[in-house]
Amino acid sequence: MTDTTTPTDDTDLTAADVAWDLEGLLDGRTVEELLDRADVLAAELANLRGTIVELSAEALAEAMQRSAELADLQGRVGNYVMLRLSENVTDPERGAAMMVVQERTTALAEQLVFFELEWAAVPDERAEELLADPRLDFCAHHLRSVRRYRDHLLGEPEERVLTAFHPSGSAAWVRLFDEQTSAVVVSLPDELGGEVALEQGLTLLQHPDRDVRATAAAAVTAGLEPGLRTRAYIFNTLLLDKSTDDRLRRYPSWISARNLANEASDDSVEALVEAVVARYDIPQRWYTLKAQVLGLDRLADYDRMASVADDESSIGWSEATGIVLDAYDRFSPELAGIARRFVDEGWIDAPVRPGKRPGAFCAYTVPSHHPYVLLNWTSSNRDVLTLAHELGHGVHAYLSREQGVFHQSTPLTLAETASVFGETMTNSALLDRIEDPGQRFALLAASLEDSIATVFRQVAMNRFEDAVHRSRRDEGEISVERFGELWGDSQRRMLGDAVELTDGYLTWWSYIPHFIATPGYVYAYAYGQLLALSVYARYQQRGDDFVPAYLELLRAGGSTDPESLGRIVDCDLADPGFWSAGLGLIDAQLAATEDAARAAGRID
């Protein structure tokens, strides 16, 4: 067991010394040297123009090996400048370095547009004959996936133009949005921290004092106001950009391109969304219960994340890492050993800093290196679960490195499996240590709220996205007020009469990065949460015998399709009832939380 008795001080509470070391990404070379080598590889690959259909399996394997080396080089420099920029997105030097790399790599991509176009045009019978050769195993699923886009590819001149304009097009707008949100200042009373970053202001919504929550919510709304119309314009521009791209590529709906990337059919995604919407009674029941627990007639939007714990003390970095690593160790010492490397070897950047990108993420980087985790540590109990979540991504990325650059990453629909599993392990380990009924209720409530936020809130956000994409295409540019109406409608449908939405909350769509950088992404959270809960249920049924299958799933990365990956852990993603069964697990979480509330004397 990890020692969690280290006393906390200000440095430990803020994780001030927890910073990553990015230099290993460059592998002892400079950015310029890596890009120069990439130029050489791209020139060699460019010599294959017009010959892809004629290549033997051996020649195609050699070309894909060169492509793998090129992807590794670009991944190293791209992640290096991106991660440096995420430390301070307002730093012009870092932004300029990011732009240099984007321009150089875009120029290479433009040269090589022909490769995937020619490969997609290879007759099916010949393609399958080539892919049956074991020399192509390291890239076979990737090459099959490329061919799924055949109906949506343009000619080479058009593809080259779109590629060339990407850095000054959508990528530039995404960067501007990041700069805008990172510059948001939340002005609080001095006793609550004074002027703080958006992330710290949002954290106060968990505060047990309702006046503090209301003050924080009003301050967040005020902080979002100065750049609101600019962010709305950015969103409108990207909505139009996607509409144009979808039209040119003949996608039937705004979500079809995302579904294709996720290796999911439009019908299957619609079935997931409909199943979740049909169970909006679950969050409504919880928020009604939570109002009783908090002694309120009805929750306001700023009450939804309020802690129900009797004691909401701060937690230091040392204690938090001990809790998470212990939980991982109980499941698998191998996973715990990998997670400890993140903590001990400079693979995490944790403190909140001015200009730092909000939120948390794990960057897979490249298989020849290791992943990195970014956090914004505010010493709240919820930060412990965020750490467990991102380390889940981290161990998944680490174990799947053996699949190589083409197969390391899964579709987004499976990308959340290990992260949610890590959170669930941590919650389970904590529950086993708690005897006090009040603390047990608080922990069960926190776990339930994570499930609600990940499944129901994300699907409600998917409904908002669906509404804005359709509105932009049918009605034209969307006003700030119309964005607010659509946001409010999607949230009210999920919350019902259980939660009152304040006027200020109608602008809170404007800081969410997923709508901007990865349109259509958010339903993948619900997919991943329901899958992860189902996977964890298998573990509860089978115990230690399940661990090898779970590790096999992580090691498999994205080397095959999602349904095949699900079968490794006995989950049938093709079963129409799978999503309903997963939602039943959340219903059971709610029932257990209701029982715990009664046992703790928090409700009658």
| Domain spans in the chain, listed from the N-terminal domain onward | 23-174
pLDDT, tens only, 353-372: 989 998 899 999 999 999 99
* Residue 35 to residues 52, 102, 547, Cα–Cα distance (Å): 25, 11, 41
The pLDDT score that the predictor gives to residue 543 is 94
pLDDT, tens only, 399-451: 999 999 999 999 888 998 999 899 999 988 888 878 889 889 988 998 899 89
Q: How would you label 214-243 residue by residue, b for 16+ Cβ within 10 Å and e otherwise?
A: bbbbebbbebbeebbeebbbbbbbbbeebe
pLDDT, tens only, 549-600: 999 999 999 999 999 999 999 998 888 788 888 999 999 999 999 999 999 9
Report percent pLDDT > 70 for the chain: 98
pLDDT, tens only, 105-162: 999 999 999 999 999 999 999 999 999 999 999 999 999 999 999 999 999 999 999 9
Report percent pLDDT > 90 for the chain: 84
The pLDDT score that the predictor gives to residue 2 is 38
pLDDT, tens only, 192-233: 999 999 988 999 999 989 999 999 999 999 999 999 999 999
Q: What is the mean pLDDT of residues 467-473?
A: 98
> What is the phi-psi region of residue 184: left when phi exceeds 0, alpha when psi lies from -120 to 50, beta otherwise?
beta
Quick one: CA torsion of 402, 408, 414, 417, rounded to 10 degrees?
Answer: 50
Picking from 386, 391, 396, the residue whose alpha carbon sits closest to that of residue 359 is: 386
H or E segment to which residue 422 belongs: helix 417-433
The pLDDT score that the predictor gives to residue 336 is 97
Domain 23-174, CATH 3.50.50.60 — does that match? no
Q: How many residues does the chain have?
A: 604
Q: In angstroms, rounded to a whole number, what is the distance separating the alpha carbons of residues 216 and 378? A: 15
The pLDDT score that the predictor gives to residue 7 is 47
Residue 232 makes CB contacts below 8 A (sequence gap 6+) with 478, 479, 480, 483, 510
Q: Is the pLDDT of residue 1 over 60?
A: no
β-bridge mates for residue 363, sequence order: 372
- Grouping H, G, I as helix, E, B as strand and the rest as coil, residue 348 is strand
Q: In angstroms, rounded to a whole number, what is the distance separating the alpha carbons of residues 453 and 461? A: 10
Q: Is the pLDDT of residue 68 over 90?
A: yes
- Which of the pair, 383 or 7, is modelled with greater confidence? 383
The pLDDT score that the predictor gives to residue 388 is 96
Mean per-residue pLDDT of the chain: 94
186 contacts 223 by C-beta, under 8 angstroms: yes
* Residue 537 to residues 541, 575, 581, Cα–Cα distance (Å): 6, 17, 11
Picking from 25, 94, 76, 174, the residue whose alpha carbon sits closest to that of residue 353 is: 94
Query: How many CA within 13 A on the CB side of residue 271?
Result: 13
Give 8's pLDDT tier (boundaries 50, 70, 90).
low
pTM of the model: 0.85
Picking from 272, 304, 347, 570, the residue whose alpha carbon sits closest to that of residue 453 is: 304
Q: What is the mean pLDDT of residues 281-293?
A: 97
Q: Is the pLDDT of residue 39 over 80?
A: yes
The pLDDT score that the predictor gives to residue 312 is 62
- Grouping H, G, I as helix, E, B as strand and the rest as coil, residue 499 is strand
Burial of 510 (0-12, 13-18, 19+ CB in 10 A): buried
